[in-house]
Amino acid sequence: MAGFLFAGTPQACSQQPDADAAGYIVKVGDMAPDFEMTLTDGTQVKLSSLRGKVVMLQFTASWCGVCRKEMPFIEKDIWQKHKDNSKFALYGIDRDEPLERVKAFASQTKITYPLGLDPGADIFARYAERNAGITRNVLIDETGKIVMMTRLYNEEEFASLCRKIDELLEK
């Protein structure tokens, strides 16, 4: 009887929010979950310390073919355009891979934007189901709210992401 009673209580239910069709557990309008990560150069970055900036997070991995297709566009159309803007930050977040592999991946893809390490996919799991696929981009406004999320690479959606970044930086 006690098992039955507890089965229906909120404490027995998972605290994990329901994922959307793309596997995201956060929504546009939510405050971006905070995290701290180590970049490939050893620098520590905490998301909440970036308040006041427009921040783009790109979840990636070397084994992701779609990521490899998208990353040159992120480099050329977003990073090279905005890297000198003090109101903008872009971080790739590589899940489940060691430092040397992530460094090699950055070199192979010729990207120069900062890459952070997410060895257990713990950062990723704050935004999407831990085993959900990548590539994913999360755009965060200067107040820390999520304003756009993408999944996979689609030229139209990527163009929309670029326009949204421009719009936020023009404020």
Q: Which helix (H) or strand (E) holds 82?
A: helix 80-82
pLDDT digits 0-9 by tens, 107-166: 999 999 999 999 999 999 999 998 899 989 999 999 999 999 999 999 999 999 999 999
What tokens appear for 124 in the block? Answer: 């990723």
What tokens appear for 154 in the block? Answer: 């689609």
In the block, residue with structure tokens 């970055």: 45
Backbone Cα Rg of the chain: 17
What pTM was estimated for this model as a whole? 0.88
Q: Are 61 and 71 in contact (CB under 8 A)?
A: no
Q: Are 127 and 27 in contact (CB under 8 A)?
A: no
Please list the residues that pair with 45 across neighbouring strands.
37
Go through the domains of the chain in sequence order and give each one's CATH number: 17-170 (3.40.30.10)
b/e per residue, 81-100, with b = 16+ CB within 10 A?
ebeeeeebbbbbbbbbbeee
pLDDT digits 0-9 by tens, 84-105: 999 999 999 999 999 999 999 9
Q: Is the pLDDT of residue 11 over 50?
A: no
